Chain A
Amino acid sequence: MQIVTKKQWLFRGMRAGIPISLGYFAVAISLGIAARNAGFSAFQATLTSFLINASAGEYVGFTLIAAGASYLEVFIMEAVANARYLLMSCALSQKLEPRTPMWKRLLLGYCITDEVFGASIAVEGHVDPIFTYGAMMIAVPGWSLGTLTGVLLGNIMPPFLLSALSVSLYGMFISVFIPEAKKNKIVASLILISFVASFAFMKIPLFDFISEGIKIIVLTVLISLATAIIFPVKEGGERDA
Chain B
Amino acid sequence: MHNIYIYILGMALVTYAIRVLPLTLIRKKIENRLIRSFLYYVPYVTLAVMTFPAIIDATQYPIAGAIALLVAIVFAFFGRSLFFVAISSSLTVLVVELIIKLLTK
A interface, CB within 8 angstroms of B: 19, 22-23, 26-27, 39-40, 44, 47-48, 51-52, 54, 56-61, 65, 68, 70-71, 74-75, 78-90, 92-94, 98, 102, 105-106, 108-110, 112, 114-115, 159-161, 163-182, 187, 190-191, 194-195, 197-199, 202-203, 215-216, 219-220, 223-225, 227-229, 231-233, 235, 237, 239-240
What are 26 A-B pairs with beta-carbon distances under 8 A?
Answer: A26-B87, A27-B86, A44-B5, A65-B2, A71-B10, A86-B21, A87-B39, A90-B26, A90-B29, A93-B23, A102-B24, A109-B19, A110-B19, A112-B19, A163-B58, A164-B97, A167-B93, A170-B55, A173-B47, A175-B80, A175-B81, A187-B44, A194-B52, A195-B48, A199-B52, A220-B45
Contact call B44/A191, Cβ cutoff below 8 A: yes
A52-B11, A85-B19, A177-B47 as given contacts; A170 in contact with B27, CB under 8 Å: no
Q: Tally B residues with Cβ within 8 Å of A.
A: 76
Closest to A179 in B: B76
Residue numbers in B under 8 Å from A65 (CB-CB): 2, 4, 7
Q: Name the prevailing secondary structure of the B interface residues.
A: helix
Can you list, as one digit per residue, whether each of B1-36 has a CB less than 8 Å from chain A (1) or not (0)? 010111111111011101111111011011001101
Number of A-B contacts (CB under 8 A): 294
